[in-house]
Amino acid sequence: MKTDALIEAAQTARLHAYAPYSGYLVGAALEDAQGRIWSACNVENVSFGLSVCAERAAIARMVAEGGREIRALAVATVDGGTPCGMCLQSIAEFATDPEALLVVTVDGSGASRQYSLKELMPHGFASSAVRTNG
């Protein structure tokens, strides 16, 4: 697992965030089952429901390139915030083992904390549907 590379990619992505309404810049980077790293930032919209979180944007990049499993994720914010509920559910969609999926948060000073997806979302919604549809 490339924890340092994930943190660096998330911090870099955060610099590109478009958050003129909240001012809350977020960068996310995830590692897929092939060891590839996908990063993205949050993109806000004046119609708040159209805003896209960094975590979901990174997932969309992974899926668009054929990835279907998240092994680890880093999220960079000013205060070390964890992913929102919508993002946690989106991450869970691509997690084969929520107890093993590492979520690292990093704040503006570089301090990090580690969680499992299961810790952050102990009662997530799951389906038995196969996620490798083509």
Residues with catalytic annotation?
55
Which tokens in the block code for residue 118?
Answer: 């299961």
Determine contact, residues 108/11, Cβ cutoff 8 Å.
no
Using alpha carbons, list the distances in angstroms from residue 29 to 49, 74, 97: 22, 5, 18
Q: Tell me if residue 57 falls in helix, strand or coil.
A: helix
A 10 A CB-CB count for 108 gives 13
Determine contact, residues 117/92, Cβ cutoff 8 Å.
yes
